[in-house]
Structure 1
Amino acid sequence: MISDTYRYEDGLESERLRTRFLALEDVETWKNFYLSEGNAQYLLGLGGKTPEDNARLAVERQLKRYVERSYGLQALIERHSGKLIGQCGLLSQDINGRRELEIGYQLFNDSWGRGYATEAAVLFRNYGFERLGAESIISIIATGNLPSQKVALRNGMHREEEVLYMGIPVYVYRLTREDWRSL
């Protein structure tokens, strides 16, 4: 569930990653995300006709979320290289009639398999509980997205239910504050 008090910061850091809010200047980099095979396989709801359209729509969606106080994905920067390798963040989602705080992430496929998704998810999990006072945090994951399901498990979450979300079968993974404290 989402706290009544809104605050969302960028500049978060983990051992190998740093975050920042996305900007329109990121559209060109995100175009490459949509050009690479497999990157956008499980993404829902953009609907652009070209990789350029999807990149612009994706960045604009996050900018709108920042303004509307519904959190949003942030750019993930590899600290040692300064390279943008993906995005991760907290999202305000409506699922089954409830407003939930979700951890979402997307990585460029050349960054897969290095533990970055888990590192970023843990960073935002801890931020959500420590700084935002969340009572629980979820991840909404397509039933076929096995790598993201493994990230959710490594993030301390458990599979709670299977539902239709935007017409797609998904699993909802959840971590409560109480369970987080015992990690």
Structure 2
Amino acid sequence: MNQYNHAGMNYFEQESERLQYRKLTEADIPRWMNFFVDNDNLAYLGLDLSKSNEVLAVEWISKQFERYRTQNLGHLAVELKETGAFIGMGGILPQVIDGKPEYEIGYSLLPNYWGKGYGTEIAQQLKRFGWEHIETQRFVSIIDIRNQRSINVALKNGMTPLFRTQYASLTVDVYGVEKG
């Protein structure tokens, strides 16, 4: 699963039409704490919501630091090019689903940035990067069956439903797109 090719483009420094992507830092923890406030989508993520927003943010970002070290991938900070405002995260995430290794295209936006097409822009950028730089035949998105917004993003990213399974104690549909 670690067939990553740096071929002239840095995963940790990308940009798309309206967005720029960079490595997360500890300075992003307070920004990411806002993700856990008044967010109807938290139920779709399999998180322990009895933890404080700070603990959840620290754990999430620390997991990305580990992914950076061990997989050279993970969630990236996503910012608006125009203002530099932090709007969320997106990344290519090596996962194991039902015992099979997969590359997930994942994204999470702060609630006040929903409905503006940013999720789709993130997913499409990550797919473009992935096809050029990662040796895989498909990308997937793991989506709670109740999360219509993420289902819509997956469909706009050319994905179709592949199968339903249990993941992180949630019933999810795995959407995928094949190379070619």
One fold, TM greater than 0.5?
Answer: yes
* 2:158 equivalent to 1:143: no
Letter in 1 for 2:170: I
Residue 4 of structure 1, CA deviation: 2.8
Q: Is the 8 A contact 1:70 1:92 kept in 2?
A: no
Partners in 2 of 1:177 and 1:128 — Cα distance?
10
Q: Summarize the alignment of residues 3-14 of structure 1 with structure 2, pairs less than 5 Å apart.
A: 4-5=3-4, 7=6, 9-14=11-16
The CA distance in 2 between the partners of 1:118 and 1:162, in whole Å, is 22
Shift of residue 69, structure 1, vs aligned partner: 1.2
Residue 97 of structure 1 and its aligned partner are, at CA, apart by 1.0
SS of residue in 1 equivalent to 2:14: coil
Q: Which region of structure 1 is more displaced relative to structure 2, 45-54 or 113-122?
A: 45-54
Alpha-carbon distance between aligned partners in 1 of 2:4 and 2:21, rounded to the nearest angstrom = 22
Any idea what the Cα deviations from partners look like across 1:80-137, whole Å, max 9, x if unmatched?
0100000000000000111000000000011000000000000001111112232110
For residue 168 of structure 1, the aligned residue among 170, 177, 180 is 170
Aligned residue for 1:86?
88
1:68 corresponds to which residue?
Answer: 70
Partners of 1:20 and 1:46 lie apart in 2 by 27
Distance, in Å, in 2 between the alignment partners of 1:27 and 1:169 is 29
- Residue 5 of structure 1: CA displacement? 3.7
Q: Compute the TM-score of the two structures, normalised by the length of structure 1.
A: 0.91
CA contact (8 A) 1:102 1:140 kept: yes
Deviation readout 1:138-177 (Å, 9 max, x if unpaired): 0000000011001000000000111111221000001010
Q: Partners in 2 of 1:15 and 1:44 — Cα distance? A: 31
> Match for 2:120 among 113, 118, 122?
118
Give the whole-Å Cα distance in 1 for the aligned partners of 2:16 and 2:129. Answer: 11
CA distance in 2, matches of 1:91, 1:151: 17
Q: Of 27, 34, 42, which residue of structure 1 is paired with 2:29? A: 27
Give the structure 1 partner of residue 79 of structure 2: 77
Structure 1 residue 45 displacement after superposition: 4.1
Question: Following superposition of structure 1 onto structure 2, how do residues 43-54 of structure 1 map, counting pairs within 5 Å?
Answer: 43-45=45-47, 49-54=51-56
**Distance of 2:86 and 2:25 partners within structure 1:** 12
CA distance in 1, matches of 2:45, 2:53: 13
Give unpaired runs (5+ residues) of structure 2: none
SS at match of 1:68: helix
Taking structure 2 as the reference length, what is the TM-score of the superposition? 0.92
Structure 1's unaligned 5+ residue stretches are: 179-183
CA gap of 1:49–1:158, structure 2 versus 1, over 3 A, is same
